């Protein structure tokens, strides 16, 4: 009798944890529930905190600061309202987030809202030396135009490869601001510690800032700070999505306002018809209608 082959015990099922990318952003306004689910309330370790964030700290748990989501909820709405009002007045927004966790979210939400963005490295002077940055953008556009016209095919292969590498390098840093022909009117930043140069430049030239501010940051540097976790992808996605939606709302308001300004009121387009009375055919010497009517109304004196 054949000995049955030993059976290999089945491995225990691996727990399938949802990836940050599978986190669905709820429709409508942000709620306490959505903030909790996204982990917005998790700050940094107590030893890394900035004392200026004390007013936004609710408690600490296992050495981690817990951010007061009641204040976060109010401040994210204030920031979104300011964002909408600013965009409705014609301002363009620049979204900044170069850390790995923010890269994809900043890119997708900027494209969704038609905004400018920086996700690789903040180039010093982007705001304080805008003319120089603009000259690099113009050079990039010139190279891409030459390539589209087939000019690269007329040079040596080595020179063509050099020009192509130059385009790729410039696009890596400038693709998100390639169409930014003037200074933005507002910045939205994820992680003001990492983006401290962008913060300093915006403050120097007087551009207001909205930012996701963690427990290790200085909120006094920001016009509209949003206390929250700036490391978790889900937290970044939730807040950035809210800001992008506020941008779109501002754009819609501006379009509606411009439409109202160019419309001609209906009452201005309706003209009273001009009444032209044709001369009546009256025989020479005969009384007119008005004279006849007057004669009829004259009392007869006996």
* Whole-number pLDDT of residue 151: 86
Whole-prediction pTM? 0.77
* Whole-number pLDDT of residue 18: 39
Q: In which residue ranges of the chain is pLDDT below 70?
A: 1-27, 262-302
Q: Which two tokens stand for residue 172?
A: 């890596």
What pLDDT digit, counting tens, does each position of 208-226 carry? 999 999 999 999 999 999 9
Judged by phi (left if over 0) then psi (alpha if -120 to 50, else beta), residue 99 lies in beta
* Whole-number pLDDT of residue 211: 98
Q: Which two tokens stand for residue 272?
A: 């009273």
Of 103, 53, 112, the C-alpha closest to 236 is 103
Structural domains of the chain, ranges and CATH numbers in brackets: 41-127+183-260 (3.40.50.10490), 128-181 (1.10.287)
* Whole-number pLDDT of residue 22: 47
Share of the chain above pLDDT 70, in %: 77
Whether the CA torsion 246, 75, 67, 50 is positive or negative: it is: positive
Backbone angles phi, psi at 6, to 5 degrees: -65, 135
* Whole-number pLDDT of residue 20: 44
Q: Is there a contact between 106 and 112 (Cβ–Cβ < 8 Å)?
A: no
* Whole-number pLDDT of residue 218: 96
Residue 41, Cβ density class (10 Å: 0-12 exposed, 13-18 middle, ≥19 buried): buried
* Whole-number pLDDT of residue 280: 53
Q: Which 8-state DSSP code applies to residue 283?
A: -
What pLDDT digit, counting tens, does each position of 180-201 carry? 999 999 999 999 999 999 999 9
């Amino acid at each position: 009798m054949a000995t049955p082959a030993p059976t290999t015990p089945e491995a225990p099922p691996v727990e399938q944890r949802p990836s940050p990318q599978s986190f669905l952003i709820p429709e409508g306004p942000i709620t306490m529930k959505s903030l909790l689910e996204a982990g917005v309330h998790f700050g940094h370790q107590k030893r890394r905190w900035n004392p200026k964030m004390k007013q936004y700290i609710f408690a600490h748990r296992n050495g981690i600061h817990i951010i007061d989501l009641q204040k976060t909820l109010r401040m994210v709405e204030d920031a979104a309202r300011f964002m909408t009002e600013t965009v409705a007045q014609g301002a363009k927004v620049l979204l900044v987030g170069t850390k790995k966790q923010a890269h994809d979210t900043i890119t997708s939400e900027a494209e969704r809202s038609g905004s400018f963005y920086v996700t690789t490295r903040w180039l010093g002077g982007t705001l304080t030396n805008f003319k120089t940055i603009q000259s690099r953008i113009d050079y990039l556009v010139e190279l891409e135009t030459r390539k589209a016209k087939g000019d690269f095919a007329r040079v040596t292969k080595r020179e063509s490869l050099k020009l192509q590498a130059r385009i790729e390098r410039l696009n890596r840093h400038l693709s998100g601001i390639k169409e930014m022909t003037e200074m933005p009117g507002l910045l939205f930043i994820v992680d003001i510690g990492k983006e401290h140069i962008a913060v300093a430049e915006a403050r120097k030239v007087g551009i207001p800032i909205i930012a996701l501010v963690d427990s290790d940051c200085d909120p006094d540097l920001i016009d509209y700070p949003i206390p929250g976790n700036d490391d978790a992808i889900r937290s970044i996605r939730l807040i950035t999505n809210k800001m992008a939606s506020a941008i779109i709302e501002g754009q819609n308001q501006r379009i509606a306002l411009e439409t109202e300004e160019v419309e001609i009121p209906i009452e201005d387009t309706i003209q009273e018809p001009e009444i032209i009375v044709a001369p009546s055919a009256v025989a020479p010497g005969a009384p007119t209608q008005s004279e006849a009517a007057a004669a009829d109304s004259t009392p007869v004196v006996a």
